[in-house]
Amino acid sequence: MNFSPNLPDLERLARQAGQILRDNYEKDLQVEYKGVIDLVTHVDHLSEDFLLGEIARQFPDHQVMSEESGGADYGEHQWYIDPLDGTVNYAHGVPLFCVSIAYARRGQLVLGAIYDPMRDELFLGERGQGAWCNGRRLQVSQATSLEKSLLVTGFPYDTWYAKRNNFDYFVKFARMTQGVRRLGSAAIDLCYVAAGRFDGYWELSLKPWDVAAGGLIALEAGALVTNVDGHPGFIQPPQSILAANPNLHPLMLEHLKQ
Ligand code: IPD
Ligand code: CA
Ligand code: CA
């Protein structure tokens, strides 16, 4: 076997996993700590177990890399799963989180699905075909200056100690734009760039499951998506990401290089 999935396959999986997140939202949570501020709830595991089970059943020869179970990268048929992106929001009852699923064939991202169950927004992307939110085609914003832009960023779980933290860039961009948001879900950040809600997004250190689906969706909506050094590999280490409309990408890159 080794059939490739299609976009409706990813849509089904994302909606079903999203239903698990919604059904358990604001219910009793079992929380464990992976680091001082890096937590995981039993719902992350419920969602992930469901997705891993379904992919193993439908595509038994495919490789999966997922946040809570790890797994290999770079299989001929490779999946990237974040069963709950925005765990800290979820654990605090902030209704902004999603499930993120990507499929890559021979090292190239082909399909991406991100589902936000609280807003019932399903973001899809397919290489060469485009990106959509609830069936509506997505297109990045037209902003041409940082002064007229709204950006978004995020901070990793080693922020208390890491030397290469994001604080300086945050301050810098906050002083030259209409604002810099921090939503707490990298996957939603990327979808909002795709939808033109934000003009640009950057973050310095993420994992493949955080950016695979959202990176493809943003690309397919017309964004330029690279790492913060301008290289197209935004999944491979040393990982970082810059996704912005084509007018702003070079401007943001210039500031991130300094
Ligand atoms: C986190 C979120 C957050 C980003 C962190 C990620 P998680 O993922 O995407 O926005 O700033 O770096 O680790 O832990 O909620 O799946
Ligand atoms: Ca994540
Ligand atoms: Ca997660």
Cα angle 97, 145, 226 (rounded to 5 degrees) comes to 55
- pLDDT tens readout for residues 38-69: 899 999 999 999 999 999 999 999 999 999 99
Choose among 167, 190, 170: nearest CA to 180. Answer: 170
Ligand nearest to the CA of 89: 1
pLDDT over 90 (residue 178): yes
pLDDT over 70 (residue 119): yes
27 — pLDDT class (breaks 50, 70, 90) = very high
1 — pLDDT class (breaks 50, 70, 90) = low
Choose among 113, 119, 86, 253: nearest CA to 191. Answer: 113
**CA 68 to centroid of ligand 1, rounded, Å:** 13
pLDDT over 90 (residue 3): no
110 — pLDDT class (breaks 50, 70, 90) = very high
pLDDT > 90 in the chain, percent: 88
| Structure tokens given for 124 | 């899809």
222 — pLDDT class (breaks 50, 70, 90) = very high
Please tell me the distance from the alpha carbon of residue 59 to that of residue 226, in angstroms, as a whole number: 30
**CA 150 to centroid of ligand 3, rounded, Å:** 25
Q: Where are the beta strands (DSSP E) in 86-165?
A: 98-105, 108-116, 121-126, 130-133, 136-137, 150-153
**CA 68 to centroid of ligand 3, rounded, Å:** 8
What pTM was computed for the model? 0.97
Choose among 42, 143, 147: nearest CA to 87. Answer: 42
List phi, psi (to 5°) of 96.
-140, 100
The size of the chain, in residues, is 258
Which protein residue has the closest C-alpha to ligand 1 atom 8?
85
2 — pLDDT class (breaks 50, 70, 90) = low
Residue ranges around ligand 1 (CB below 6 Å): 67, 82, 85-87, 154-156, 184-186, 203, 206, 210
Ligand nearest to the CA of 210: 2
**CA 48 to centroid of ligand 3, rounded, Å:** 9
243 — pLDDT class (breaks 50, 70, 90) = very high
- pLDDT tens readout for residues 4-26: 999 999 999 999 999 999 999 99
Domains identified in the chain and CATH numbers = 7-137 (3.30.540.10), 146-256 (3.40.190.80)
Q: Count each helix (H run) and each strand (E run) in the chain, helices first.
A: 7, 14
> Quick one: CA dihedral 239, 194, 91, 27, positive or negative?
negative
| Structure tokens given for 100 | 């993120």
Burial of residue 13, with CB atoms counted within 10 A of its CB: 0-12 exposed, 13-18 middle, 19 or more buried = buried
| Structure tokens given for 97 | 């989180």
List, as ranges, residues with CB under 5 A of the ion ligand 2.
82, 85, 210
pLDDT of amino acid 186: 98
- pLDDT tens readout for residues 139-156: 999 999 999 999 999 998
pLDDT over 90 (residue 34): no
Burial of residue 96, with CB atoms counted within 10 A of its CB: 0-12 exposed, 13-18 middle, 19 or more buried = middle
Mean pLDDT of all residues in the chain?
A: 96
Which protein residue has the closest C-alpha to ligand 1 atom 2?
185
Which protein residue has the closest C-alpha to ligand 1 atom 16?
85
Lowest mean pLDDT among 32-46, 86-100, 134-148: 32-46
Please tell me the distance from the alpha carbon of residue 240 to that of residue 231, in angstroms, as a whole number: 10
Please tell me the distance from the alpha carbon of residue 187 to that of residue 114, in angstroms, as a whole number: 7
Q: How many CB atoms lie within 10 A of CB 212?
A: 29
| Structure tokens given for 70 | 């790890």
**CA 175 to centroid of ligand 2, rounded, Å:** 27
122-138 as b/e, with b when 16 or more CB fall inside 10 Å? bbbbbeeeebbbeeeeb
